[in-house]
Amino acid sequence: MSSINKKEIEKFSKIAEEWWNPDGKFKPLHNFNPIRIKYIKDNIVKDFNIKHSGKPLKNINLLDIGCGGGLLSEPMCRLGANVVGIDASKKNIEVAKFHAKKNKLKINYKVASPEKLKTKIKFDVILNMEIVEHVENIDFFIEKSSKLLKKNGLMFVATLNKTLKSYIFAIVGAEYVLKWLPIGTHDWNKFVKPDDLINISKNNDLILKKLNGMEFNIFDNSWRVSDDTSVNYILKFIKKIN
């Protein structure tokens, strides 16, 4: 079995050169990034009871699954984390490696999926951000991701809810009307409801600690954390083994 959806990989490989262009095909992710970074950092600091500032994620072993060109891997590294970034697209990893080297950042990038990753360690934190809606089999993907997480480790999963509102906003609005994303970026049939994702995760030793919505304000072009999970949402899990 594989978590890799080849059509999805081909789709993102074709636009891999755009990853670090803030006005390019990944502009929405660049706008989204500040709130993602703050959410992840603040929750890690709180849950791991980190007291020091400066590089608050120092000594945290972090795995960024579906890292793309490194939009999250790089800020996590700058915050002090030991980062491994994996992606099934070779082109994405090439772009990520080049950009990290240019910025003198030490990030261990690999062409891999969770089931194919060879590692001697288990991770303190795993990021599955905007990736589960692009994989072949969510159950299998979460199962293999969970196996890479150490006991009491944190996993963050961000994705799109399967609602009429998400279809209107994330596909019709973002792809066809506003042209924020290339047409065909998302398939509504692959969106997943929070309860379904929570149940899949629970079956793989991942207990929900937090569920938040991520809401876009079209007037000031910014994102904020909210209680509205009807379009974008993010979950924080802790790994508990009986």
pLDDT confidence of residue 218 = 77
pLDDT confidence of residue 227 = 97
pLDDT of 106-121, one tens digit each?
999 999 999 999 999 9
pLDDT of 142-158, one tens digit each?
999 999 999 999 999 99
Listed by start position, the domains of the chain span 6-239
pLDDT confidence of residue 221 = 79
Other CB atoms within 10 A of residue 43 CB? 18
Give per-10-residue mean pLDDT for the chain (242 aa).
Answer: 94 96 92 96 97 91 98 98 98 98 98 97 97 97 98 97 93 80 88 98 98 90 94 97 77
Predicted model pTM: 0.95
Q: What are the residues whose beta carbons fall under 8 Å from the beta carbon of 14, sequence distance 6 or more? A: none
Contact 160, 194 (CB under 8 A): no
Percent of the chain past pLDDT 90, that is, above it, reads 86
DSSP state letters, 123-144: EEEEEEES-GGGSS-HHHHHHH
Handedness of CA 32, 224, 172, 233 (dihedral sign): positive
pLDDT confidence of residue 185 = 87
Domain 6-239 maps to which CATH number in 3.40.630.10, 3.40.50.150, 3.40.50.720, 3.30.1330.10? 3.40.50.150
pLDDT confidence of residue 219 = 80
For 145, the token pair is 């991701």
